[in-house]
Amino acid sequence: MMWACLLLLTVWYAATHGLLYPAESETRQIRSLNGLWQFRLDEEGVGETERWFAMLNLPQPTILMPVPASYNDITQNITIHRHIGWVWYARDFFIHSTAPRWVLRFQAAHYETHVWVNGQAAMNHSGGHLPFEADITSFIPNDAKSSKMRIVVAINNTLTPTTLPPGELVIHNPTYRELQTHFDFFNYAGIDRSVILYSTSKTYIEDIAIDTQSIGYDSQHVATSAVLNYTVTIGGTNQTDAIRVLIQLLDANGMIVANSTDFQSRLVVNKPNVWEPCGMNHTHLCTEESYLYTLQVTLYNDAQQTDVMDIYRIHHVGIRTVKLTDSKFLINERPFYFHGVNTLEDSEIRGTGFDRVIIAKHFNLYGWIHGNAFRTSPHPYPEEFYHIADRFGIVIIDQTAAIGLNKPEYFSQTTLEHHKQITREMINRDRNHPSVVMWCLANEPQCTFSQSKSYFSALVNFTRSIVAGRPITFVTNLNFNNDQCVEFFDVISLDRYIAWYSDYGRLDQISNIISQDLSNWRLTYPTKPILMSEYGADTMPGLHNDPPFMFTEEYQKDFYSAYHISFDNVSSLTHPDTGYFIGELPWTMFDFATEQSTVRIGGLNRKGLFTRQRQPKAAAYKNHSSAFYRDQAILCLPTHDLPSDENVYVSIDEFREKIPLTTYKDYTDYIDRMVIEGETNVLSSEDPVYYSMTSGTTAKIKLLPATSVTIRKLNESFVLGFHIVRRSFPSSSSSSFNQRVFTLQTGRKPKMFPTSKDGIPMGPISNLIVEHGGETYALERAKYIRNECSKKNVPGILHRLWPNLMFATTAIGSTFAIYKPDIEFYCGKHLPLINCMVYGSSEGYFGSLASIHTDEYFLLPTHAFFEFIKEEDIEQAQPKTLLISEIEPGHRYELVCTTDAGLVRYRMGDVVNCTRFLCRADDLVPLPTEPVEIPRIPLISLAYRVGSLLDVFGEKTNEVHLMNALQQTVHQWKSQGIPVDFCDFTSYPKLDASPAKYVIFLELSEDQKCKINAQQLQILKSTASEEVNQQLSKANEVYEKVQHFKVLDRLDCILVRSGTFSTFLRKFLWTSRSSPTQIKPHRILKNEEHIRFFYDNQIDTSLS
């Protein structure tokens, strides 16, 4: 009897001071006792009376049972699966006398556990899911170098009114025992987590507590200092005066950043790297790591610190703070939004058994859905979960196993004391994890009973003294006006199943009911933030119906969408001044086992976003937003083609205010994840159907995803443009929509398409393009084509090859206009040349041809959300934007777009002219015949690319300035009787000259009938630089002013040989990754090899 009392004191003492996670060090050894153990049921409950713990082997029948694992699903024996009562485990092992102290630790066992070592009682523990341990050194013979040891464990999974969770055993007859519970998961049991043997010195580090007291920040919110409080508890001796301790905080590179020699003190860290929660717009992705320090504690037996007694390291120290306001949850003084999925520790065969494979898969999928938080419902998880969460910055709400408290007798003093015990054990185990930001003391207690109010008042008061700097919550499924316990807690955590357990099938009612519910709670408790910690709908994978019905995958998707509307309306993140809602945690991540019933098909709760086999259902793909949207805290724009259940901003102004303008570099990491890793739901919830690759001729190569919506909108743009073209030609020349379209399609990538015998490419180029005749091409036809192409200086090659050709189309606006005469020569007088029918790019398709006579386009507001930056504001990082209704003719703007493929407020780099407003007289598209008011519809044309600027001292010379100056210069030469024409040009800023200057390379073309002579050539060479400089000063006044102050020298205009630009195109631009239709002229050279090429081709004595 005295031994039993001593044992109880030992176990309680350990629980009070916390249990450090078993970790190897220079002074500690670890040995796993996992494996196959002897196992048997004790259906009569006689094992302890018959002293099975003292036998060499457990009485037959026994089987082998894996540890760790729940025993219920290991066999095909239904009796073992549904067993209620005692089971026994046993195993032998050898221990070597290599350390003065050995500790036997159970990471968890469910529920009531008795342990014997070598036939002697070693420890008892009540409660599941938390560790317990005992010093077993006294059971090891002192004089033996090695000893055979035997462990016997008895476990009882019977729940009672005083256990947590509670339950009641009902014995219907000798063969029918029923455990009545008030929770919805299977009561798995056994040694479900690891069994470990570890050693320490006689005097050892028993416990460590460390927490961040404060962090100082500068004006940019960069951490400048941090203060950490710590306490070290020593075990094995009461004589601590002679013991010395060294505390060292090491950064990720192993460098010491703070130290101390006190058992209890504080550490000050200068310029700390703070631990950040993932998934916020100011933090990292949830697949990237947060910053962790290592706390190293060393015990010495002497003041000189030479005799090391014990060393222990905590590798997951995160510097971070947690605070609450009346409407926000702050981590590191910044609002945090809980966005993830709760889960239940459950898997096939293993039950609640610990398995690193299952944990690794869990976090892999958590990264896939971009979750940044979860609640450990219905009980604390294995500590390895917390280690990974620390590493990736995933936030945890740590919950006790107190679920199912829904009878008055469950709120007893005995239960309260046990509740305090498991709360203390949980906090002491998990308090050093930065990922743990809040304690949850219970799930769905029936707080309408008078007993419950005093019960939770006492429990919360007890917990306040040990919270380790975290707020406290509990989950309630009651209404705002009948929950008597919520007043004691810091955060209101709600559990709601509208349109599932009530209002069956009424998805249309969710938003109104939830919105009103949240409002009522807020009015009743205006100083407490609100979290939706549980909501969900069962879904049978593969079950579909339209309209959505309960249990279908469509229903689960729409169920979540309906809830999100209510959440976003009061979110503290999107409404920082008025919002009070701090997060959403659906139930649940995976389907899990329950007791069998008529509502649990196959004994499973099927609310998972994934099946029990970890395969996604449809709702797993339709996250609240894509990865980019979630990381940037972006909602959706309100547009007429969005479903009503989508999350939207209140207004366009709110969208523009909260979301910054973006460029391609904001998307590179996300696109790499899509292209390299095959990740989905990154920029858009819709998978890309191909990646559009830019040619790289005006900037670095970009990869941009296109979805099926992109393709549909391309087709729509073509149809509209083609309709305008057909209306513009005489009816006799109009042809059907089935006419064949030919195009230059690909670069020199070998074997992309099959070719005919004569080398003409054939094959399906796209869904808009027919074959070039395929193998039916006749030899005569091939011969004819060769003959026609061999004719020199004969116009109309396109018309001669295809006499029925209706028109030719290419880019003829902006600086492309200099090529228009050449292309018209190929067309001849019988074939019209019009501008491209679609204004598009790798980013999307945004406009349609407005007229066959100009280079103007309509922008299509249904294809993207457009914004415009004034030309004078383009150099600003985040300039103010205008809407399409605010731009005016005669002005230039940089185009900004938000697209279906996931680009958000994306700066296109295209500068467009607003040319005019469409009027009824234009008759470009059918307009209403009635005198209705037509909105102002601006027409635009492409001016230049933002990157195409010469800008040495702020003069901002663009390609239009240069082209106008060169055209005027050529006009001057022609007026002097010199028969030349403008062919092409490029330029670069020569910054190594003093002062700096522009260098322009100009190619001219001669009149074939009238060659220029040597004297005229000398005039060109001698006057080119001065003439172009004068004309550029007229075209760009700022350039003239910069030259006036002599900070920019007169430009050099260098004439290059005929054919130089064609050679440059073939040699440098037309590569295997680009097609002729992609290539854009290089107006500014940035490559030294390219610059040298043009210098090497400058004219010496003749044009040819």
Cβ neighbours for 623, distance < 8 A, ≥ 6 positions apart? 369, 370, 630, 681, 685
Angle between helices 2-17 and 413-430 (to 10 degrees): 50
Q: Is 494:475 a contact under the CB 8 Å cutoff? A: yes
> d(Cα 625, Cα 610) in Å, to the nearest integer?
17
Phi–psi pair at 1067, nearest 5 degrees: -80, -35
Q: Is 30:198 a contact under the CB 8 Å cutoff? A: yes
Three-state DSSP state, 797: helix
Three-state DSSP state, 1089: helix
> d(Cα 85, Cα 972) in Å, to the nearest integer?
105
Pairing of strands 146-156, 167-173: unpaired
Q: Is 713:844 a contact under the CB 8 Å cutoff? A: yes
Q: Is 683:674 a contact under the CB 8 Å cutoff? A: yes
> Is residue 444 annotated as part of the catalytic site, yes or no?
yes
Q: Give kind and range of the element (H or E) at residue 167.
A: strand 167-173
Kindly state the DSSP code that residue 733 receives in the 8-state scheme.
G
Q: Which residue has the tokens 């998934």?
A: 279
Own/partner pairs, 500-504, CB within 8 angstroms, 24+ separation: 500/536, 500/537, 500/538, 500/550, 500/559, 504/550
Integer angstrom CA distances of residue 256 from 52, 198, 260, 316, 387:
53, 28, 11, 15, 22
Q: Which residue has the tokens 């991540």?
A: 589
Which of the residues 112, 206, 444, 867 is marked catalytic? 444
Angle between helices 553-569 and 507-524 (to 10 degrees): 30
Integer angstrom CA distances of residue 1031 from 317, 727, 1016, 1046:
66, 41, 20, 18
Is 81 buried (19+), middle (13-18) or exposed (0-12) by CB count in 10 A? middle
The encoded tokens of residue 861 equal 């507001």
> d(Cα 635, Cα 568) in Å, to the nearest integer?
9
Q: Which residue has the tokens 């415009």?
A: 868
> d(Cα 374, Cα 340) in Å, to the nearest integer?
6
Helices (H), 465-552: 507-524
Strand segments (E) across 435-586: 436-443, 472-476, 491-495, 530-534, 581-584
The DSSP result for 923-971, as a single string, is -SS---SS-PPPPP-EEEEEEEETT-EE-SSS--EEHHHHHHHHHHHHH
Q: Give kind and range of the element (H or E) at residue 414.
A: helix 413-430
Q: Which residues are catalytic?
A: 444
